Structure 1
Amino acid sequence: MKIKQFEFTPLAHYSYAIISGDKMAIVDPSRNPLPYYNYAEENDAKIVAVFETHLHADFISSHLQIHNETGATVYVNKHAEAKYPHKAFNHNDTFKMNDIEFRCIYTPGHSRDSICILAESENKKYALFTGDTLFISDIGRPDLREAGGETDDEREKLARMMFETIQTKFSDLRDDVIIYPTHGAGSLCGKGLSEELISTLGKERRTSWAFQINNEEEFVKELTSGQPFIPNYFSFNVEQNRQGVGKTAINFANVEFIMGRTSGGKEIITIDMRGEESYKDNHLENSINIMCTDENDAMETWLGSIVKPNEQFEVIINSADDVKRTFDRISSIGYDKNLKSISTLGSGGFCKMHQFCYEHFKNNMELYTIVDVRNKDEYEESKVFENALNFPLDKLMEEAENIPTDKPIVVHCGSGYRSSIGSSIIHRHSPDAKVLDMGEYIKKFN
């Protein structure tokens, strides 16, 4: 058995290829199938199966595209109610691939369709692909589909299902079974995911909070509290993955490419994905700065939080060299359908942001309206400035009108990335106000 882990850093997403002889299976593939195709070719293997551990909320899977292009069978639990060609993979169902047997363990809790996939070879239970059920140091939250209409009652039901899952579904497995989760640190699918890439079931039994709490009420309370915010696009992605999504090339062909853009407007949202300094120095009127300069930028999360799933938008980039990379990242959350154009900025001066002066602010804080765009729980846990107003970034498009403009507005977050987005949103809403992005200067106050 040969296992390869693939990482899509912006969404802290892990997917897997498992090879036995001349055949290969994939677990929870990302939107771009090329890395799996290349790996199969390198190993002279044919892709015969794709396993979906559940309907993903934070990324679009390429399961349907892989099926269409390779003939591989897609295996998914019946509770997913998948609309694409597939084979139901329910509790204790098995699939044999040369000397590997894959067995389904039904593990509801994160969602009703969640499964884990046990890979056995030579009668040894070797690897457990845990999806969003069991992470390293954490477990999957039960509320990601609430934006799609799920209630508090459903969240509690799922939390109780997760308790049953943790208490009973892995009890027959040895401590040395290797855990391969679908997400790691930085994912919004849990609240305390480790940066480690793999673990063992024994280590998780000893160290993960989920295995330490044996009281159901206490477990439910812990699982349902303190979870991160839910981006707008999550429920949209669940439905997209239920239907199955085709090639990105179709949508790429419909995107207009403009060299030297000179105007923008409020009729369609303009997202400027250049670095914050480039944006502050020169940008189109009404544009919002969501940086996409490297893999550590959480562009996907914030694009999917600020732009609604069916809302059209256009993008500004640094150069033509960034076109394909930017499009691929946008497509990872299914927003390529909404993308109207990708442009570079034309020559000439457009709009500028005011520059933040650290010394003046430090000595005259009372002269400023301070806006903290961190999540509510972050704000309440560690308030940086006593008189700061909390306007969480994921709600700022709707709430910006409530920010006082009688003083210069200083925007901060925890590191500088979100404050760039937040200050540009406030600047877009109140163009006559003096809006200042504190950026990385926040680190001097932490």
Structure 2
Amino acid sequence: MKIEQIYTGCLAQGAYYITSNGEAAIIDPLREVEPYLKRIAKDRVKLKYIFETHFHADFVSGHVDLQRKTGASIVYGPNAACEFDCISAKDGEEFTLGNVVVKVLHTPGHTLESTTFLLKDESGKGHCIFSGDTLFLGDVGRPDLAQKAASMTQEELAGLLYESLMNKIMPLADDVIVYPAHGAGSACGKNMMKETVDTLGNQKKVNYALNQPNKVAFIKAITDGLLPPPAYFGLNVAMNKKGYESFDTVLHKGMKALTPDEFEAVAESTLALILDTRSNQDFYKGFIPQSVNIGLDGDFAPWVGALIVDVKQPLLLVTDEGKEEETVTRLSRVGFDNILGHIKGGFAAWLASGKEADTVDRISAEQFAQHVKIGADKIIDVRKETEYAAEHIEEAYNKPLAYINDWIKDINPEEHFFIHCAGGYRSMMAASILQARGYRNFTEIAGGFAAISKTDLPKTDFVCQSKIMQV
């Protein structure tokens, strides 16, 4: 028996590859399936099962493409209504894989079909659980994503999750290994550990959710402080339930190279959004007008999903040369399949063609410290509320980037303001969106709060509610 965790950092997502005696299974695969097919061919095994812990909201799974290419059976837990060929297994049902067995533990609460898969080794002993979004390391799955589909409140779903954990997970042996679907950085939980593997015994000791005195306390603890889920979550669930266009087709379309003239013509005729994935250090110096900057070297896919609310939005790409395929792949993971192509030669080709370019007004933290007048000048901090609360510039307003589509309408286009984040990644996204929508009355700060904190500007952890501009 061999178990391999395939962890994707930008999504904080864990897929799992299991082999035993010539047979293989994959749990919660990513959208692009070629890496799995290569593993299967190298190991000379047959893919028998594709186990899905639930209908994922934060990414599009590779289950449908894997089934098309291998003939393997897709297995969900109870209550899974797929619009493709799948097995909706019964609670307690067992699936033989080589010399091991995978047992279905129905653990509703995160969603109604949420299931934990218990792997029994060759001796029949419980070896590990693939807990999906039921149990994370340090946390449990959020209970607010399936409210509409389940016709239940988040408190009712949290109650279901409590029963699942107490009755199905906690009785398992302490030496059982926990393999979760996500780690720190995922929007599917709020208190996840940076580790990606642990023992159940340790989780029984350190996981706050597993140590609540009763069901009422558990419900309050896990529902307190939940942030609104990104808009694309529901659309990803629909794709995972209904199926989707083959990734091969999406990649083929996205890899279409366009000349500057062709790129411009497509942009004008389709109302496509121009997505520039270069670093913020390169973007601010020059970019195609109306472009939105979301840097590939960061939490790219989740930010695309948070800021571009419609997964069907036509996209045209500007990337560093050689990064086109990676960009299309990472977009497809969160369901953004309507990619019309990319500019051949990148932004340099656009400039060489003599076409118009735009820039962002960016200054250094030192220049900012020299010119800003605290209390008179407006400063907008686009970090998370928790980051802002820990420390911020005195008199700065907090408008988290995740909610820019809501708060942008409150910006006075006649009033100048300074904008910053932690290091420049998020504030440049905000700057690009502001300029794409006609706002040019701002200056962005290079290096963000990390650089600003090294200046003599006054900083505080005092939180004035009027300065936290919640939306």
Map of 2:463 onto structure 1? none
Gaps spanning 5+ residues in structure 2: where?
454-458, 460-471
Q: Superposition pairs for residues 279-290 of structure 1, below 5 Å? A: 279-290=283-294
Q: What amino acid sits opposite 2:70 in the alignment? A: T
Q: Cα distance 1:22–1:126, how it changes in 2: closer, same or farther (>3 A)? A: same
Aligned to 2:26, the other structure's residue is in SS state: strand
Note the alpha carbon deviations across 1:75-94, whole angstroms, 9 max, x for none: 11232211110111221011
Cα distance in 2, alignment partners of residues 441 and 223 from structure 1 = 30
RMSD across aligned C-alpha pairs, in angstroms? Answer: 2.2
1:268 to 263, 266, 272: 272
Asked if 1 retains the 8 angstrom alpha-carbon contact of 2:275 and 2:318, the reply is yes
Give the direction of change, closer, same or farther, for the CA distance of 1:87–1:16 in structure 2 (3 Å limit): same
**TM-score under structure 1 normalisation?**
0.92
* Runs of 4 or more above 6 Å deviation: 148-151
Q: In structure 1, how many angstroms separate the alpha carbons of the residues matched to 2:38 and 2:289?
A: 43
In the TM superposition, residue 311 of structure 1 has moved relative to its aligned partner by: 2.1
What is the CA–CA distance in structure 2 between the aligned matches of 1:204 and 1:16, rounded to whole Å? Answer: 20
1:241-390 matches, within 5 Å, as: 241-255=240-254, 256-260=256-260, 263=264, 267-292=271-296, 294=297, 297-307=298-308, 308-319=310-321, 321-336=322-337, 338-343=338-343, 344-345=346-347, 346-347=350-351, 348=354, 350-363=357-370, 364-366=372-374, 368-379=377-388, 381-382=389-390, 384-390=392-398
Pairs within 5 Å for 1:110-259: 110-121=110-121, 122-145=123-146, 154-255=153-254, 256-259=256-259
What is the identity, as a one-letter code, of the residue corresponding to 2:399? F
Contact 2:66 2:72 in 1 (8 A): yes
- Change beyond 3 A, Cα 1:149–1:167: closer
Offset at residue 126 of structure 1 (A): 0.5
TM-score, length of structure 2 as denominator length: 0.87
In structure 1, how many angstroms separate the alpha carbons of the residues matched to 2:394 and 2:368? 14
Out of 238-247 and 356-365, give the one that drifted further.
356-365
Percentage of identical aligned residues: 29
Q: What is the match of residue 87 of structure 1? A: 87
**Quick check: 1:76–1:88 contact (8 Å CA) kept in 2?**
yes
Paired amino acid for 1:282 = G
Alpha-carbon distance between aligned partners in 1 of 2:149 and 2:201, rounded to the nearest angstrom = 37
Structure 1 unaligned regions, length at least 5:
none
| Inter-CA distance 389–145: structure 2 relative to 1 (3 Å threshold) | farther
Q: Does 1:25 align with 2:25?
A: yes
Conserved in 1, the CA contact under 8 Å of 2:79 and 2:88?
Answer: no
What per-residue deviation string (whole Å, max 9, x for no partner) do you get for residues 235-285 of structure 1? Answer: 000010001234212123334422446756693322111111211000111
> In structure 1, what is the equivalent of residue 12 of structure 2?
12
Which SS does the other structure have where 1:11 is aligned?
Answer: coil
SS at match of 1:17: strand
What do the CA deviations read for 1:89-110 (whole angstroms, capped 9, x no partner)? 2210111122111101111111
Quote how far apart the aligned CAs of 1:50 are.
Answer: 0.6
**Matched residue SS, 2:289:** coil
What residue in structure 1 maps to residue 405 of structure 2?
397
Residue 431 of structure 1: how far off its partner (Å): 4.0
2:3–2:16 CA contact under 8 A, matched in 1: yes
1:23–1:45 CA contact under 8 A, matched in 2: yes
Alpha-carbon spacing, 1:268–1:398, altered in 2? closer, same or farther (3 Å): farther
Q: How many residues align?
A: 438
Q: Find the aligned partners of 2:411 and 2:446 in 1 and give their Cα distance.
A: 17
Report if the CA contact (8 A) 2:107-2:134 is conserved. yes
User: 2:100 corresponds to which letter in structure 1?
Assistant: I
C-alpha displacement at 1:169, in angstroms? 1.2
- Deviation (angstroms), 1:440: 3.5
